[in-house]
C-alpha cells in the first residue's frame, strides 16, 4: 500500500523509480521573496552608482532593469543548476518533470508565463494552480513541463550504534525489519527518553522495557544488518 504523500515518482529507462519531492507554495513564496529582495536591492545600488554617469548610466540601468525583470531567473536556473539565489537559500531546485535538469527553452517559457501566473495581481492564478495540481505546479510549470522540488540534504552513510547482535525471537516481515533498521539509524539523533518510548512499542517482541528495550532493538538491528 502506498502511503499518502506528495512524492512524485519518475521511472528511468533503467527501470528504477526515483523519488522527487515537489515544493509547496510556502517554500516557493519565500524563495520568490528572497529573489525579489536581492534583485531590487541590486537594482537600487546599481541605480545609485550609475546615477553618477548621467544619461549613459540611466541607459545602462534600463538594461539592468530589463534583465532583472525578465531574464534573471532564466540565467540562474539554467547556469546555476536549476537554482536562483532564493531557491538556493531554501534548498529548492527546478527540474523538468522527468527529473532532468532544466534547459533554456523550458526555463524561458516558465519564467515568461509569470505574466499569466501573476494575474490578476499578487500571483493569484499561480497560487490557485499550485494548490490545484498534484505536483504544486503553477501555470508556467505546467506549460514548460517543469517542477520545483526540495533538494534533499546529502544523507550520511548509515551508521548503526554498536550493540551486541541479537536474533529476533520470531520471524519478522520485511517491513518490520526495515522499521527496526530505521529506528537504529535514527536513534543517535533521538533523546534517550524518546528512544525508550519508541522501543517500548516493541515490548512484546523484546520482552523488556526502558533502556533494556532500546538495547534489544539496537541488537536486533545489528543482527538484521550484518548477521551474527
CA distance 69 to 39: 8
Nearer to other proteins, 6 or 69 (CB): 69
Binding mask 48-87 for other proteins (x = CB under 8 A): -----xxxx-xxxxxx-xx--xx-------x---------
> What b/e sequence results for 59-88 when a residue is b if at least 16 CB atoms lie within 10 Å of its CB, and e otherwise?
eebeebeeebeeebbbebbbeeebbbbbbb
Binding mask 185-214 for other proteins (x = CB under 8 A): x-----------------------------
Minimum gap (Å) between residue 77 Cβ and other proteins = 12
Stretch in the footprint of other proteins (CB under 8 A) among 15-23, 128-136, 191-199, 203-211 = 15-23
Nearer to other proteins, 10 or 34 (CB): 10
**147 - beta bridge partners?**
95
Determine if 139 is a binding residue for other proteins (CB under 8 A). yes
CA distance 51 to 138: 38
**150 - beta bridge partners?**
92
Query: Does residue 109 contact residue 138 with C-beta atoms inside 8 Å?
Result: no
Distances (CA, A) of 111 to 51, 126, 205: 29, 12, 55
Tell me phi and psi for residue 94, to 5 degrees: -95, 130
CB atoms within 10 A of CB 140: 23
Q: Cβ-count burial of 45 within 10 angstroms (0-12 exposed, 13-18 middle, 19+ buried)?
A: exposed
Minimum gap (Å) between residue 55 Cβ and other proteins = 4
Binding mask 141-180 for other proteins (x = CB under 8 A): -xxxx------x-xxxxx---------------xx-xx--
CA distance 32 to 139: 16
Minimum gap (Å) between residue 193 Cβ and other proteins = 23
Minimum gap (Å) between residue 200 Cβ and other proteins = 21
Stretch in the footprint of other proteins (CB under 8 A) among 34-42, 96-104, 195-203, 212-220 = 96-104
Q: Please choose, from the candidates 45, 11, 8, 22, the residue with its C-alpha nearest in 3D space to the C-alpha of residue 136.
A: 22
Binding footprint of other proteins on the chain (CB under 8 A): 12-16, 18-20, 53-56, 58-63, 65-66, 69-70, 78, 95, 99-101, 103-105, 108-109, 112-116, 139, 142-145, 152, 154-158, 174-175, 177-178, 181-182, 184-185, 224-227
Amino acid at each position: 500500500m502506498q502511503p499518502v504523500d506528495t512524492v512524485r515518482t519518475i521511472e528511468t529507462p533503467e527501470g528504477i523509480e526515483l523519488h522527487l519531492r515537489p515544493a509547496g507554495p510556502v517554500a516557493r513564496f519565500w524563495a520568490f521573496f528572497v529573489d525579489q529582495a536581492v534583485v531590487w536591492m541590486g537594482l537600487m545600488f546599481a541605480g545609485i552608482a550609475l546615477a553618477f554617469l548621467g544619461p549613459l548610466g540611466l541607459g545602462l540601468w534600463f538594461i539592468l532593469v530589463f534583465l532583472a525583470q525578465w531574464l534573471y531567473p532564466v540565467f540562474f536556473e539554467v547556469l546555476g543548476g536549476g537554482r536562483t539565489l532564493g531557491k538556493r537559500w531554501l534548498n529548492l531546485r527546478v527540474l523538468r518533470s522527468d527529473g532532468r535538469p532544466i534547459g533554456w527553452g523550458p526555463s524561458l517559457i516558465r519564467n515568461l508565463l509569470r505574466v499569466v501566473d501573476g494575474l490578476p495581481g499578487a500571483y493569484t492564478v499561480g497560487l490557485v494552480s499550485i494548490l490545484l495540481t498534484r505536483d504544486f505546479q503553477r501555470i508556467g510549470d505546467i506549460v514548460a513541463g517543469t517542477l520545483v522540488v526540495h533538494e534533499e540534504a546529502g544523507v550520511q552513510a548509515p551508521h548503526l550504534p554498536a550493540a551486541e547482535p541479537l536474533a529476533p525471537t520470531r520471524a519478522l516481515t520485511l517491513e518490520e525489519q526495515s522499521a527496526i533498521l530505521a529506528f537504529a539509524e535514527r536513534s543517535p539523533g533521538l533523546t534517550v527518553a524518546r528512544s525508550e518510548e519508541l522501543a517500548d512499542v516493541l515490548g512484546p517482541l523484546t520482552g523488556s522495557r526502558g533502556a533494556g528495550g532500546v538495547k534489544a532493538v539496537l541488537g536486533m538491528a545489528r543482527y538484521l544488518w550484518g548477521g551474527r
